[in-house]
Chains A and B, each alone.
Chain A
Amino acid sequence: MLDTPIIEVRDLKVYFPVKKGIFGRTYYVKAVDGVSFEIPEEGIFTLVGESGCGKTTVGRTIVGVVKPTAGKILYKGKDTSKLSKEEYLEYRRNVQIVHQDPYSALNPTKTVFQSLAAPLKRWGIAKSRNELREKVSELLELVGLNPPGEFINKYPHQLSGGQRQRVVIARAISVNPDVIVADEPITMIDVSLRIGILDLLLKLKEEVGTSYLFITHDFGAARYFSAKGGGSIAVMYLGKIVEVAAAEEVIQNPLHPYTKALISSVPVADPELSRKRKPLKLKSLDIPSPLNPPSGCKFHTRCPYSTDICSKVEPELKEVSPGHYVACHLYQG
């Protein structure tokens, strides 16, 4: 990769303090504990993991809502903690987020026009009322809300979940960002409309050149979005990336026992196949407390293949075949 990635995350750590006990001792929840990856220019990077793995915290840190405890986030090769005030504002404009819940992301007392006009005015992209109307209509058309005239004066409660999410996406792209952090953008959308939202994001990548950090718990959505957009998938567990490779490689050839367990547990829409499958069983279903994570490999308490070394030494993320990285002693050979 010769081009500078649009976003580079280097050894990111985010610890949240928690007071506990009668003396109020401070403990730290290591929500993100040493994560590194890149989002290539006009590319896709997907984080998958169960709830509590830290994937949302990574996304929120990249958009600047959460401050890193340690590590760096580089935007176009520049350390974001060292930007001047103007540069930092420009960075914040260029990195937008789409949240999971389109029902609470829009102000219920504002029309679609008002919601979309606000960022345009704030960044001076459109000024006069006519300009604003034109630009908002353009945005609505771009996100597939046609004809725009039918949606522009509506309130959120008059729209379906899928339509609201399209408005949220329109708002995110209104300020021409380079990167969108899409945090579970389809989880609350009706099943039959989910692919439509992903296709819209992919279309924007083609037409406007947006890059994505896609965050999801759903391997099917991760595969669809990342594979179609030529991106990679990383699997997170307790604040760490345990495996990363090109999308189809992770799905069809998972190596880490955790990834194997997750992928073999996803129900398949084929009654014959699903009755033949044997999901990989873990030793325990309980995710250890992030306040007191296990020693060595954080997964060893649940891993069916764990050996002595796993509880003592933390495995590093190593390239085991071209472009396929795994953090597991089974592959450190």
Chain B
Amino acid sequence: MGNERILEVKNLVVHYLTARGPLPAVNDVSFSIEKGRIVGVVGESGSGKTTLALAILRQLPRLTRIYKGSVMFHGIDLVKLSEKEMNEIRWKKISYVPQAALNALNPTIKIIDHFIETGNAHGINDKKLIVEKAVEIMKMLNLEPERVLYGYPHELSGGMKQRVLIALSMIFEPELLILDEPTTALDLLTQRLILDLIKDLHRRTHMTVMFITHDIATIADIADDVIVMYAGKLMEKGDVFTVFKNPHHPYTKALMSSIPDLTGDINKMRSIPGSLPDLINPPSGCIFHPRCPYAFEKCKREEPPAVEIKPGHVVSCWLYSKQ
């Protein structure tokens, strides 16, 4: 699309330091996010999708370190910034709504105070300005500001809390919004509402979104681009229409046929044999080879490079590598 790239992640490696040795939760991942796109990141538990988001924000838990790579944001490498400089980026430029965020609100203060506190923490003390902004975003998210702002978190349903958190993450109009499993703990109809509201918000504001989920159908529903992760590795990426119509990586194909949906042929659905690899003792070569139906000798020996098979469509698999 030739659009401006607002984030470029290059060869990122993140290690968890465990008693058994370093665990590469994100392993040599490169991708970029173009302005105004919704980028879906999909993977099973342990695929590294949340770690990836935390690494971008530099909010990794203790005993974790970014071992290698860079995260370029407007030409600045976020990995190299000091904590103080990073605080200027978080929430204002890149904001994050964590997974299981429904417990993230302080039960003892009103919703309006969450907005005011957030403003204060980032140096904005004009209450009126903050409340005005909060009302504006809440209206876009179909929340009644008068009722919600002066209520306490326990008075809100799960779907409302999730919307409040999205509103809270947007008060500084960030350039990039990262949503981590925003629909996971919600009932089906509330999930649908949240997805539709995010789409609607995106249409109006053209904000850039990184949407993390384990549910590949949700990605098809909401995202423009998709990144498929497995065991810390990027397996495939491209725009959703291309990747869903014509998945190339054996893992992407297997993942798609392992989802029991409502339209597919139930006789073609099957789970992926084997289980997720031990990341401290990963298999040699391609990390997916023990579960891959197409694996051949080379897959066991050497790790496949990420190959761009068409502009924007990248696959890490020896089946598509000319080397």
Contacts and interface: CB of A to CB of B under 8 A. Distances in A.
A199 B271 contact: yes
A227 B262 CA distance: 11
Contacts of A223: 260, 262, 266
Contact of A219 (B157, B256, B262, B271): B262
A192 B188 contact: no
B218 A271 contact: no
Interface residues of B, number: 41
A193 interface: yes
Contacts of A270: 220, 244, 263
A42 interface: no
A271 B241 contact: yes
B276 A262 contact: no
Interface stretch (B9-17, B112-120, B190-198): B190-198
Interface string B28-45: 000000000000000011
Nearest to B254: A192
A266 interface: yes
A150 to B, nearest CB: 13
B261 A285 contact: no
A251 interface: yes
Given A224-B269, A227-B266, A265 B275 contact: no
Interface string A232-253: 0000000000000000000100
Contact of B271 (A50, A196, A262, A267): A196
A162 B258 CA distance: 14
B276 A160 contact: yes
B63 interface: no
Interface string A269-294: 11111100001001001100000000
A48 to B, nearest CB: 10
B136 interface: no
Contacts, number: 117
Contacts of A219: 188, 262
A268 B221 contact: yes
B259 interface: yes
Given A265-B189, A265-B191, A269-B216, A194 B271 contact: yes
A251 B262 contact: yes
A77 interface: no
A228 interface: yes
A263 B262 contact: yes
B258 A272 contact: no
B189 A266 contact: no
B263 A273 contact: yes
Contacts of A50: 187-189
Interface in A39-76: 50-51
Contacts of A193: 258, 271-272, 275
Given A50-B187, A228-B266, A261-B189, A269 B275 contact: no
Nearest to B242: A271
A139 to B, nearest CB: 19
Nearest to B251: A192
Given A160-B276, A265-B192, A267-B220, A191 B255 contact: yes
Contacts of A282: 189
B215 A267 contact: yes
Contacts of B269: 195, 224
A190 interface: yes
Nearest to B215: A267
6 contacts: A190-B44, A193-B258, A195-B260, A218-B260, A267-B221, A274-B220
Interface of B: 44-45, 157, 159, 187-193, 195-196, 214-218, 220-221, 240-241, 244, 254-256, 258-264, 266, 269-273, 275-276
Interface of A: 50-51, 160, 162-163, 190-199, 217-221, 223-224, 227-228, 251, 261-263, 265-274, 279, 282, 285-286
